[in-house]
């Protein structure tokens, strides 16, 4: 579930990612693990879930650095649309 949540987060489907992080957190907290490895996973899931929550609610967080990627992606889409329109005009 954690990897699936990461996938949705990377694809900017933050609502689904937040729900999956919640489910992953519930499961991770119930799994008995020797040593500190389980606590590290739980802490990582909590932080990732909090980051996604902040994006969903428009608060600044470590994930908020995503907009430059969105701007770049939008620029590529706009460029491709212009190229397609130019090709259609020929």
Q: Which two tokens stand for residue 73?
A: 């992606």
Using one digit for the tens of pLDDT, what is the confidence trace for 35-47?
777 788 889 999 9
The C-alpha atoms of residue 42 and residue 66 are separated, in whole angstroms, by 24
Torsion angle of C-alpha atoms 1, 23, 9, 45, degrees rounded to 10 = -90
Q: Which two tokens stand for residue 67?
A: 């907009």
Domain ranges (residues) in the chain: 2-89
Using one digit for the tens of pLDDT, what is the confidence trace for 2-39?
899 999 999 988 999 999 999 999 998 888 777 777 78
Please state whether the predicted TM-score (pTM) of the whole model is above 0.85.
Answer: no
Q: Which two tokens stand for residue 12?
A: 């900017």
């Amino acid at each position: 579930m954690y990897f699936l949540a990461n996938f949705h987060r990377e694809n900017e489907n933050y609502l689904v990612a937040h729900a999956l992080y919640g489910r992953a957190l519930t499961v991770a907290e119930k799994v008995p693990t020797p040593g500190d490895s389980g606590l590290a996973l739980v802490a990582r899931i909590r932080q990732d879930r909090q980051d996604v929550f902040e994006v969903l609610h428009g608060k600044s967080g470590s994930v908020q650095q995503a907009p430059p990627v969105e701007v770049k992606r939008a620029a590529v889409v706009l460029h491709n649309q212009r190229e397609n329109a130019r090709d259609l005009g020929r």
